[in-house]
Amino acid sequence: MSLIEEIDFGTPRSKSETMVTLTIDGNQVTVPEGTSIMRAAMGAGHQIPKLCATDMVDAFGSCRLCVVEIEGRAGTPASCTTPVMPGLVVHTQSERLKKLRKGVMELYISDHPLDCLTCGANGDCELQDMAGAVGLRDVRYGYEGENHVFAKSHGEVNAAWMPKDESNPYFTYDPSKCIVCSRCVRACEEVQGTFALTISGRGFDSRVSPGMSESFLGSECVSCGACVQACPTATLTEKSVIEIGQPEHSVVTTCAYCGVGCTFKAEMRGEEVVRMVPYKDGKANRGHSCVKGRFAWGYTNHKERVLKPMIRERIEDPWREVSWDEAFSFAADRMRGIQKKYGRDAIGGITSSRCTNEETYLVQKLIRAGFGNNNVDTCARVCHSPTGYGLSMTFGTSAGTQDFDSVENTDVAMIIGANPASAHPVFASRLKKRLRQGAKLIVIDPRRTEMVESPHMKALHLPLMPGTNVAVVTALAHVIVTEGLVNEAFVRERCDWSEFEEWAAFVALPQNSPEATAILTGVNPKDLREAARIYATGGNGAIYYGLGVTEHSQGSTTVIAIANLAMATGNIGRPGVGVNPLRGQNNVQGSCDMGSFPHELPGYRHISGDAVRDQFEALWNVKLNPEPGLRIPNMFDAAIEGTFMGLYVQGEDILQSDPNTKHVVAALSAMECVIVHDLFLNETANYAHVFLPGSSFLEKDGTFTNAERRIQRVRKVMTPKNGMADWEVTIALAKAMGLEMNYSHPSEIMDEIAALTPTFAGVSYAKLEELGSVQWPCNEKAPEGTPVMHVDGFVRGKGKFVVTEYIATDERTGPRFPLLLTTGRILSQYNVGAQTRRTENVVWHAEDRLEIHPHDAEQRGVRDGDWVRLKSRAGETTLRAEITDRVAPGVVYTTFHHPDTQANVITTEYSDWATNCPEYKVTAVQISPSNGPSDWQKSYDEQARHSRRIVPAEAAE
């Protein structure tokens, strides 16, 4: 194994299809029109010296190191900014060029420290490389003159010198090593789209400046690390590199955070991660990343990680460390005992959307084949289950329709109930890039999110009242139908016309107009009409949506309404359009694909289908139960009722993440065996009897499937610290319960998945090795996968329009609970925070705050930073207030990353009518000033501390 070196072509790839042939150093080179001479030369294997150019950003032409000679042209143009032309004859090396380059390098080095041996970038420094490339042997100017290098010169303080900025927890900024190539500034603008960096001053005074000469941490910087990656010197360097040294080998793998599924190179020294660097060939991220994926992997060796199996008789007892065998036999005995006492259907399990496809597949297999029932569910229940229902009904498959590259062809993006800048940051950067090229953006969200306003973009914002999505989307349809903006040719060809007519007649009813619904939705009818017109007529229209759509009583209805909208405008079946659910977790798509839902076998085939069951029964050699099992909320209900008593939970913290915490506590407390399989003693583990240590994504092989259905490899870079990868743990538990599973590597599990699942038929580790990644469906019809769905027709045949009547949620505001609470996420934290809270990311978000509009705050005497009591019909908690007009009057908002916030004590048991996906996004609440934590928070904390006691195993004599 060696370090994977990606070729830096110096300037971005040209998309032109017109080819141009020229001569570089005597070789004929043919490249797309618009390619720079630098890139063309690199493609031919001739590296022209360069400093300010890198292919992640546009050419800038400032360093003058990449000069070339072109026959018939005067001077020495920069090869990065000079495009190819037919017939050019270019020379990249000559006496004149050598002299010029050496002169440039000499000037650079005259203002640069010569501490190469002790420098963090030693071995990975382009400045060092270029000094070598041009043969720099002497710096005639000396180091005595004006400089940025020394704190003191001639015994006096050097005003041009700046100290290191170490404020960011993950990287340092050392201005003395900066050559002002501005690659960092351009990466921040062009790649990330944050515009946090600039060059202040002119000439010799030019400095890289975060914000208005602030610290990195104090500026708008979102710590995506693109600047660090772009920096050719040690100016911006990962602290891990400074501490450990340069990596010696690297392995390509997939991020374990959000559903974007960024590809990374894990750069290693032995079994120690030195840094994570986004991989240019990653088809989801195209070389970019966010703060979580690039930097927040420290949780994998956090001191709180539990590495030994533990059991206890009762949840009041302290944990007892035991051997793996003892843990498995204890768990198996308990689970089988429960089945004997309460019946076969009295146990079940929850698969993890953070684990691999292979691991998820094994857990559902254990449940269906080993437990003998279908009581399997996954956290998608509480996030995107309505997507599955709504898109299957209308299009015939739950699949999101596009790949992420599609956004490069989008003319109008409509974001509904999602905040990609926080939750899917790399997609947000890719979208912002397109918006800066002129695409339009519509944001439908109760809150003025970071997507509504950011540098060089302004969205048309429809700030709706939480819970009125169906009314708003149906009103958009009303405008499209009544103003004659329907793409009739598309609908006639692709959809069921009579169903369309029925739908069109419904949405055209006066009560569905923007004007009539404004009283409920709070959306200005004029803006809504404009949004509908832009979406229907502005070119390629793409809808991106998130949990603000699904986590409602009418979550499935809104998904259907969105699908209707896309069909009516013909925005389906080609690049740039589509219906794109932004999946929350790294493998939530995969966990759904792998048969994690109680009613579906892998590949979304209903368990009642005899033919499908026959196939599984033949291979698994068991009889399967044809009846659907319990969904997560149904499991809790059944536990309280006394018919569901044992649960195996892999990589999921249901106590923190599921709504109405008190109800979940009651359910978990009622169970006789809760097995938690996780990296940490999470909140659910407070009520568990068996703890099986989990392994991180760095410690196992497998695959994740991201939001664009892309199956990507996860590769093991270190031995599992707990001794076993998660798939091995599940196999051992299955064996203890009497179900034989024989796999020696996850690739064998994938082979079984491919054999049983038509949409995965063509997937194998060999194919993933060959293609890098593949988007399902991948089978005989599409051997290299399917980037865009429904190209020649819908999966179900004709697209189905379904009437979507707005039904107000039963969660209503009133005199006691006059405000609406809605919830969301923040960039630096992820989900329940189990991982990110155990990293330096806490510097950005140490606690969850309650956002309140100044008007509501003033009425209640609440000041910024005050403790407030947040009370709903379900419960109450306290947290600190943040006063902001990002939320509208009448709406309050919080994140849910910290367990002590207890945000889910507030949320209710109302759920989506079709899927029981909880209504997290609408809770009627009241707030009042408070002195600190509620009694519930105190008693919860006490129970948690009590429950986490561990008695170490006694040493063998």
Partner 1 sequence: MSSPDRLVYMANQIGTFFRSQGHDKAVPGIADHIKKFWDPRMKRAIFAHLDAGGAGLEPNVREALTSLKPATSLPAAP
Q: Does 631 bind partner 1 (CB under 8 A)?
A: yes
**Residues in binding contact with partner 1, number by CB under 8 A:** 36
* C-alpha to C-alpha distance for 279 and 190, rounded to whole angstroms: 17
Does residue 914 interact with partner 1 by CB under 8 A?
yes
- C-alpha span between 528 and 545 (Å, rounded): 17
Q: Does 375 participate in binding partner 1 (rule CB under 8 A)?
A: yes
CB of 502 to partner 1, least distance (A): 8
Task: Single out the segment in contact with partner 1 by CB under 8 A; choices: 170-178, 257-265, 551-559, 948-956.
Answer: 551-559
Amino acid at site 517: T
Q: How far is the CB of 640 from partner 1 (least distance, A)?
A: 6
Minimum CB distance to partner 1, residue 641 (Å): 5
**Taking CB under 8 A as the rule, does residue 658 contact partner 1?**
no
Token pair belonging to 358: 């292979």
Q: Kindly state the smallest distance separating residue 599's Cβ from partner 1, in Å.
A: 6
Sign of CA dihedral 456, 462, 466, 472: negative
Among 161, 490, 765, 913, binds partner 1 (CB under 8 A): 913
Torsion of CA 766, 770, 771, 777, to 10 degrees: -30
396 touches partner 1 (CB under 8 A): no
Residue 338's region, left for phi above 0, alpha for psi from -120 to 50, else beta, is alpha
Q: Taking CB under 8 A as the rule, does residue 345 contact partner 1?
A: yes
Among 12, 43, 123, 628, interactor with partner 1 by CB under 8 A: 628
Query: What one-letter code names the amino acid at 905?
Result: V
Candidate segments 208-216, 461-469, 624-632, 787-795, binder of partner 1 by CB under 8 A: 624-632
* Burial label, 786 (beta-carbon count in 10 A; 0-12, 13-18, 19+): buried
Judged by CB under 8 A, does residue 557 bind partner 1?
Answer: yes
Considering the complex, state which of residue 251 and residue 507 has its C-beta at the smaller distance from partner 1.
507
**Which of 278, 420, 576, 629 touches partner 1 by CB under 8 A?**
629
Is residue 346 part of the contact set for partner 1 (CB under 8 A)? Answer: yes
Closer CB to partner 1, 133 or 640, in the complex: 640
Instruction: Compose the 784-803 pattern: x for residues touching partner 1 by CB under 8 A, - for all others.
Output: ------------------xx
- Best CA proximity match to 842, nearest among 769, 897, 765: 897
State the Cα–Cα distance between residues 380 and 251, nearest whole angstrom: 29
643 binds partner 1 (CB under 8 A): yes
CB-based contact 703:714 (threshold 8 Å): yes
* 88: nearest Cα among 155, 24, 148, 160: 24
Instruction: Out of 115, 144, 205, 627, point to the residue binding partner 1 (CB under 8 A).
Output: 627
The binder of partner 1 chosen from 582, 630, 725, 924 (CB under 8 A): 630
d(CA 40, CA 13): 10
Closer to partner 1 by CB, 122 or 643: give it.
643
The span of 340-348, 403-411, 415-423, 483-491 binding partner 1 (CB under 8 A) equals: 340-348
342 binds partner 1, rule: CB under 8 A: yes
429 with 421: CB under 8 angstroms? no
Block residue for tokens 């986590």: 551
CA separation for the pair 503, 805 (Å, rounded): 10
Give the residue from 697, 562, 693, 692 showing the smallest Cα distance to 258.
697
| φ/ψ of residue 120, rounded to 5 | -60, -30
Q: Which stretch binds partner 1 (CB under 8 A): 26-34, 637-645, 676-684, 734-742?
A: 637-645
Q: Closest CB to partner 1 among 192 and 557? A: 557
State the DSSP H helix or E strand holding residue 454, giving kind and residue range, or none if neither: strand 453-454
Going residue by residue from 571 to 610, which x/- string records binding to partner 1, judged by CB under 8 A? Answer: ---------------------------xx------x-x--
* Per CB under 8 A, 638 contacts partner 1: yes
Place of tokens 């919830």: 823
Using the minimum distance from each CB to partner 1, give the nearer residue, 319 or 503.
503
Kindly calculate the radius of gyration of the chain based on its CA atoms and give it in whole angstroms.
29
* Choice from 660, 835, 836, 915 touching partner 1 (CB under 8 A): 915
At 509 the three-state DSSP class reads coil
416 DSSP β-pair partners: 444, 545
C-alpha–C-alpha distance, residues 758 and 133, integer Å: 54
CB of 237 to partner 1, least distance (A): 54
Query: Which residue, among 4, 9, 125, 124, has the nearest Cα to 57 in the 3D structure?
Result: 9
Spell out, one character per residue from 155 to 174, where the chain touches partner 1: x when CB under 8 A holds, - when not.
--------------------
- Subset of residues 506 to 545 that bind partner 1, contact rule: CB under 8 A: 506
CB of 361 to partner 1, least distance (A): 21
Contact (Cβ atoms closer than 8 angstroms) between residue 463 and residue 523: yes
**Six-digit token string for 375:** 């009581």
Q: Per CB under 8 A, does 622 bind partner 1?
A: no
The stretch among 28-36, 338-346, 578-586, 737-745 that binds partner 1 (CB under 8 A) is 338-346
* Helix ranges restricted to H, 860-934: 903-906
Coil, strand or helix at 657: helix
Closest to partner 1 by CB, 374 or 684: 374
The single residue among 214, 248, 326, 805 that binds partner 1, judged by CB under 8 A, is 805
553 binds partner 1 (CB under 8 A): yes
Number of H helices, E strands in the chain: 30, 39
* Positions in the binding site for partner 1 (CB under 8 A): 342-346, 374-375, 506, 553-554, 556-557, 598-599, 606, 608, 627-631, 634, 637-638, 640-641, 643, 802-805, 807, 913-916
